[in-house]
Amino acid sequence: MSEPPGAARADGAEANDGGDPWITGVGMTPFVGESDASLPALLETAAIEALDDADVLPDDLDAVIVGNMAAEAFSRRSGLANVLAGSLGAYGASARRVENTSASGASAIESAVRALRSGAADRALVVGGEVMSAASTAESTEIVSRITHSREYAQGVTLPGFAGLATDAYLEGADAGRADLARIPVKNHRNGATNPYAHFQKRIAVEDVLDSPPVASPLRLYDCCPTTDGAAAVVLEGAPASPTPNGVRVRRVASAVGTHAVGDRTDPLALESVATAGEAAFDAVDRSRLDVDVLALHDAFSVLEWLELEALGFAERGRAWEDTVAGEHDVDGALPVNPGGGLKARGHPLGATGVSQVVELVWQLRGDVPEARAVEDPAVGLALNLAGFGNNAVCTLLSVD
């Protein structure tokens, strides 16, 4: 049965509740514009860092899960999970790859959480990665464009095109200015400047954003995430009898599918998949939006940060921009957003992004970040990884006790 326009369905990763899993180790490679390493090498580097952080040996793993969108297109590779498990020596572990376009990383974590909760695994390694520089700019544009609905793709509609139309509608309806939108990349570049793993480690000003080349009016180059290579990894373990030292608890992972064709949506500014996934996540735990201390959002385009904040219930419709302008989303604000630089400055290696968001939140919750971008005493973090322009969303809630 087909869903009506605007509908979304949620799926919580904790349907068979065997207790909350914990993230006990994390790792990342630097995110760069062009890596000298192959995709398997990047995956292995991030994996080893996470295993060392968790003090876990490859032999201890029950599952190896790789999040990746388009290895065949970008890197001419397949069988990534088997390659990684073999290079690590994780013999005997199950191995699989998860693909969910730009939300592949978070979906891979969701798959691991399901395995741990069901009892199918006690310890899992999740690694997300992409080497986008292996393809030309034209090839990369073509690969990413195919995320859209086939009917819209045939008409030449692109994700930047959707973002430009949404931005124009948002600014007009909210009575916000173009300079207000520029505050998002300015904030995220400021955060990225103190993140040694970020693709861009430089500050920019509002004028830099407004003077950058146009991409899809009114969006400009500095409103759009870069093409990035990199990998990120997490080690997850089943619910312990007592809290794991230096571990971070996975309270909920919930995902939702929305209307695929953007043109069929009753309201193009309402990200129904995000709203449904967020609602499912909060409904399942003893936490509310007021408990969240830090957010990692999918800012592939500047306007998405506002649309996601509103869909998740952190701001009223058409009002998120006011909080950004007021500094509420700065690292020292009331609700910090993207303290690691977000997709805009940290970068967006498609399959790695959802995992890197969780890595940043774990660092924040453990206090393992430089003071310049450290959120003050965070206890609850939320990550939102988006597929396409809201075709699918994965919401992850983390906490420290």
pLDDT of residue 297: 98
User: 305 and 321 in contact (C-beta within 8 Å)?
Assistant: no
pLDDT of residue 7: 46
pLDDT tens, position by position, 55-98: 999 999 999 999 999 888 888 889 999 999 999 999 999 999 99
Residues of the chain with pLDDT under 50: 1-7, 14-16
Helix or strand or coil: residue 5? coil
Q: What is the H or E stretch that residue 95 is in?
A: strand 94-98
Find the DSSP H helices in 13-55: 39-54
Q: What is the H or E stretch that residue 178 is in?
A: helix 178-192
How far is the C-alpha of 125 from the C-alpha of 54, rounded, in Å? 10
How far is the C-alpha of 385 from the C-alpha of 103, rounded, in Å? 5
Q: What is the H or E stretch that residue 329 is in?
A: none
Residues in the chain: 401
Report pTM.
0.93
What amino acid is encoded at 325 in this protein?
A: V
Q: If we measure between CA atoms, which residue out of 140, 141, 142 comes closest to residue 131? A: 140
How far is the C-alpha of 353 from the C-alpha of 269, rounded, in Å? 23
Domain 12-401: CATH superfamily is: Thiolase/Chalcone synthase (3.40.47.10)
pLDDT of residue 389: 86
